[in-house]
């Protein structure tokens, strides 16, 4: 069987397809109403301002939509990140550039130019513990926050199963998306064959009316991105383990050098025994730590 290509963004890509694609504008409107407390009914009123292929600090944008006087930025996160307000600031700069250009606004005019109000929401469904809801502030990143002339806030919702029930009730698609991710995790933990596990999770959702139309239409793509994300998770775990081992080796070298009259050859021998390294590998560490 060929190796699965690494792609860590399966949940991000599904989130964008579900809420950022004009084909599914009704989903976007449902989420807009849920977070803003509105009751709009016509998805044709939505304007998508998502900047395609915009990447900042290794972050690809998710969804930006405007309705009436509100410009919403929706981001999906599978790892906790306290820097979301910084990223929001950077992205909103690009969004307003686009809005000003599209609407032919003259910001050098003596007349005040009215812009849509920004509202920034982050939807987290990673495996680490996280609050049900929290508000992150840009000023927390500043060395002297009380002197700041600017503030950006990001409202972070934990959308893992069991969290934010009221939000989930207001946005059925978000609730079903959360259920889908939970089922994928559960079947991965129970089924030795990852391909069979993901297929079973997708089929169970289709059978139980969870994102049924979307999963039927995009099953092959969903299977691919879930499997590649699983492959990368294993790869990242190996990287973490290797980094931890490197730290332990360097610590052992530092400790050994505190022992009088212990030669580099003695340290190499210790590393070979402790960490099952080859002698050449051990010498690379010893030379690198001088």
Any idea where the domains of the chain sit in the sequence? 10-183, 243-288
Q: Yes or no: say if 19 and 30 are a contact pair by the CB < 8 Å rule.
A: no
| H helices present in the chain, as ranges | 10-19, 25-36, 84-102, 165-170, 172-190, 194-207, 212-256, 264-275, 279-288
- pTM for the whole thing? 0.74
Q: How far apart are CA 278 and CA 126, in angstroms?
A: 38
**Tokens 């991105």 appear where?**
225
124 closest CA partner among 164, 166, 170, 172:
164
Q: Yes or no: say if 30 and 171 are a contact pair by the CB < 8 Å rule.
A: yes
pLDDT at 89 (0 to 100): 94
Q: How many CB atoms lie within 10 A of CB 76?
A: 23
pLDDT at 52 (0 to 100): 64
pLDDT in tens, the chain (290 residues): 333 333 445 555 788 889 998 999 999 999 999 999 999 999 999 999 887 654 433 335 579 999 989 999 999 988 888 999 999 999 999 999 999 999 999 999 999 999 999 999 999 998 889 999 999 999 999 999 999 999 999 999 999 999 999 999 999 999 999 999 999 888 888 877 888 888 999 999 999 999 999 999 998 888 877 776 655 555 455 555 656 667 777 787 878 888 777 888 888 887 788 777 788 877 877 787 75
pLDDT at 13 (0 to 100): 73
| Angle at which helices 194-207 and 172-190 cross, to 10° | 150
Q: How far apart are CA 155 and CA 135, in angstroms?
A: 5
């Amino acid at each position: 069987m060929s190796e699965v290509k690494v792609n860590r963004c399966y949940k991000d890509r599904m989130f964008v397809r579900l809420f950022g694609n004009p084909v599914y504008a009704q989903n976007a409107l449902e989420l807009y109403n849920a977070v803003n407390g509105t009751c709009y009914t016509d998805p044709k009123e939505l304007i998508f301002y998502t900047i395609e292929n915009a990447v900042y600090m290794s972050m690809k944008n998710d969804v930006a939509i405007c309705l009436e006087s509100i410009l919403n930025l929706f981001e999906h996160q599978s790892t906790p990140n306290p820097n979301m307000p910084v990223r929001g600031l950077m992205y909103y700069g690009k969004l307003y550039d686009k809005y000003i250009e599209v609407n032919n606004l003259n910001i050098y005019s003596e007349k005040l130019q009215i812009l849509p109000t920004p509202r920034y929401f982050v939807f987290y469904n990673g495996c680490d513990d996280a609050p049900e809801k929290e508000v992150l502030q840009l000023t927390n990143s500043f060395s002297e926050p009380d002197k700041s002339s600017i503030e950006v806030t990001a409202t972070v919702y934990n959308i893992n199963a069991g969290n934010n029930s009221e939000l989930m009730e207001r946005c059925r698609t978000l609730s079903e998306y959360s259920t889908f991710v939970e089922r994928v995790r559960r079947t991965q933990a129970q089924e030795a064959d990852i391909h069979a596990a993901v297929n079973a999770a997708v089929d169970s959702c289709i059978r139980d009316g969870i994102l049924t139309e979307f999963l039927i239409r995009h099953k092959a793509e969903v299977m691919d991105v879930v499997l590649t994300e699983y492959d990368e998770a294993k790869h990242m775990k190996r990287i973490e383990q290797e980094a931890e081992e490197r730290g332990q080796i360097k610590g052992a070298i530092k400790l050994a050098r505190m022992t009088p009259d212990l030669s580099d050859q003695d340290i190499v021998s210790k590393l070979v025994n402790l960490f099952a390294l080859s002698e050449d590998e051990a010498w690379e560490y010893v030379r690198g730590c001088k």
